[in-house]
Chain A
Amino acid sequence: MEWDWDFAWSIMPTLLAGFRITLIATFLGAIVAAVLGLVFAILRRSSNRWLSRGTSFVVEFIRGTPLLVQLYFIFYVLPDLGLRLPALMAGVIGMGLHYATYAAEVYRGGIESVPRGQWEAARATNLTTRQTWLHVILPQAVPPMIPAMANYLLAMFKETPLLSAITVLELMNQAKSVANSSYRYVEPMTLVGVMFLIVSLLSVIALRWLERRYGRVSQ
Chain B
Amino acid sequence: MDQPIIRIQNLQKSFGTLTVIDGLNFDVAKGEKLALIGPSGSGKTTILRILMTLEGISGGRIEICGEPLYHMQRNGAEVPADEAHLHRMRRYIGMVFQHFNLFPHKSVLQNITLAPMLTKGETRAAADKRARELLDMVGLADKAGYMPSQLSGGQKQRVAIARALALQPQIMLFDEVTSALDPELVEEVLEVMKRLAAETDMTMLLVTHEMGFAHDFADRVLFFDRGRIVEQGPPKQIFTAPAEDRTKSFLRKIIAAGQRV
Contacts and interface: CB of A to CB of B under 8 A. Distances in A.
Given A136-B103, A140-B104, A125 B54 contact: no
Interface residues of A, number: 17
Contact of B167 (A115, A120, A123, A125): A125
B101 A120 contact: yes
Given A117-B99, A139-B105, A140-B104, A124 B118 contact: no
Contacts of A135: 103, 114, 118
Interface stretch (B88-96, B194-202, B211-219): B88-96
Output the residue of A118, A125, A135, A140 with the most chain B CB within 10 A: A125
Contact of B90 (A123, A129, A136): A123
A158 B180 CA distance: 49
B209 interface: no
A126 B163 CA distance: 12
Interface residues of B, number: 24
Nearest to B90: A126
Interface string A97-129: 000000000000000000101101101111111
Nearest to B105: A139
A124 B103 contact: no
Contacts of B163: 125
A131 interface: yes
B52 A123 contact: yes
Contacts of A140: 103-105
A120 to B, nearest CB: 5
A125 B164 contact: yes
A124 B54 CA distance: 8
A139 to B, nearest CB: 5
Given A118-B103, A139-B105, A124 B52 contact: yes
Contacts of A129: 83
A124 to B, nearest CB: 4
Contacts of B104: 140
A123 B54 CA distance: 7
Main secondary structure of the interface of A (DSSP, over half): helix
Contacts of B99: 117
Given A117-B97, A117-B99, A120-B97, A125 B115 contact: yes
A139 B167 CA distance: 23
Given A135-B114, A139-B105, A140-B104, A124 B119 contact: no
B42 interface: no
A135 B111 CA distance: 11
A111 to B, nearest CB: 14
A137 to B, nearest CB: 10
A187 B234 CA distance: 91
A156 B5 CA distance: 59
A139 B111 CA distance: 14
A139 B102 CA distance: 14
27 contacts: A115-B101, A117-B99, A117-B101, A120-B52, A120-B97, A120-B101, A121-B103, A123-B53, A123-B54, A124-B52, A124-B54, A124-B90, A124-B94, A124-B95, A124-B164, A125-B115, A125-B119, A125-B163, A125-B164, A126-B87, A127-B115, A128-B119, A131-B119, A135-B103, A140-B103, A140-B104, A140-B105
Interface of A: 115, 117-118, 120-121, 123-129, 131, 135-136, 139-140
Question: A-B pairs with the 9 shortest C-beta distances?
Answer: A125-B115, A121-B101, A117-B101, A124-B95, A126-B90, A126-B119, A139-B105, A131-B118, A120-B54
Given A121-B102, A140-B103, 7 more contacts: A120-B101, A121-B97, A121-B103, A126-B115, A126-B167, A135-B118, A140-B105
